[in-house]
Amino acid sequence: MPQRGNRRELLADAAIEVLAREGGRGLTHRAIDREAEVPEGTTKNYFPTRSALYLAVARYLAARHTEALEALCSEIPADVSSEDITALYAAMLRRMATSARSQFLALFELHLEAVRNPEVRTALSAITEANVDTAVHLHSAVGRRISRRGAGLLDAGMLGVALSMLSLPEDLVSELGLDDADGLARALLALGSPHGGPALGVLRDAAG
């Protein structure tokens, strides 16, 4: 059961687990009550409709994600290197399929909801904005330039790789090299480079 002091956060954490385990069809008020181990009707009191549930979870994930990235940017050491940035993105890719698996499965369910729900779409845009801002900041810290378009491409690539890792058979993931976090991080970072030339070489190397 999620361990949070704030009742809304408790319910949002429970909703993330329900979304990750059962998908959007399983996101009901009763399912969240059971997951959070609260009296029946508690979730409905806070979030009366399914739309309100989706929006609350999207805003909660966005707030947590933005807060984490702001903390990351505030703690960048003075001697950070390009290799450190690559290692960081590789670690992010590994985390998407391991310790943050539930959050990313829930995030993909929210992206599907966002296709039809403008409020959820707006809430999720905060995650992309934070990812883009962080990429620009990290590149600047090592004396490299990345445009916001390049950072957006990097973010889209990270999300796409995460989706493939979580949804494809393990043997296919391995065959395609989608479990090679280090190689993927290098390739995705190169794709966001201003000129694109180095990216092609890295992609050829990653493709074997």
* CB within 8 Å of 154: residues ≥ 6 apart: 131, 135, 146, 188, 189, 191, 192
**Burial class of residue 163 in the structure, from the number of CB atoms within 10 Å of its CB (0-12 exposed, 13-18 middle, 19+ buried):** middle
Give Rg (Cα) of the chain: 19
pLDDT of 195 reads 54
Q: How far is CA 176 from CA 29, 69, 115, 206, 208, in A?
A: 39, 29, 29, 10, 10
Q: Which two tokens stand for residue 199?
A: 């990216």
Amino acid found at 19: L
CA 64, CA 166: separation in Å to the nearest integer? 21
Q: Which residue has the tokens 């391995």?
A: 174
The CB-side HSE value for 26 (13 A sphere, CA atoms) comes to 16
Q: Which two tokens stand for residue 21?
A: 């385990």
The model's pLDDT over 100-134, given as tens digits with 9 standing for 90+, comes to 999 999 999 999 999 999 999 999 999 999 999 99
Q: Tell me which of 1.10.8, 1.10.10, 2.40.160, 2.60.120 is the CATH number of domain 1-48.
A: 1.10.10
pTM for the full predicted model: 0.86
Domain boundaries, the chain: 1-48, 59-207
What DSSP designation does 178 have?
A: T
Closest C-alpha to 124, from 190, 179, 59: 59
The model's pLDDT over 23-43, given as tens digits with 9 standing for 90+, comes to 999 999 999 999 999 999 999
Q: How far is CA 67 from CA 19, 73, 96, 134, 179, in A?
A: 22, 10, 17, 11, 28
* CB within 8 Å of 188: residues ≥ 6 apart: 89, 154, 157, 158, 161
Mean pLDDT of 44-68: 96
Question: By percentage, how much of the chain surpasses pLDDT 90?
Answer: 87
Per-chain mean pLDDT for the chain: 90
CA 20, CA 24: separation in Å to the nearest integer? 9
Q: Which two tokens stand for residue 26?
A: 């399983």
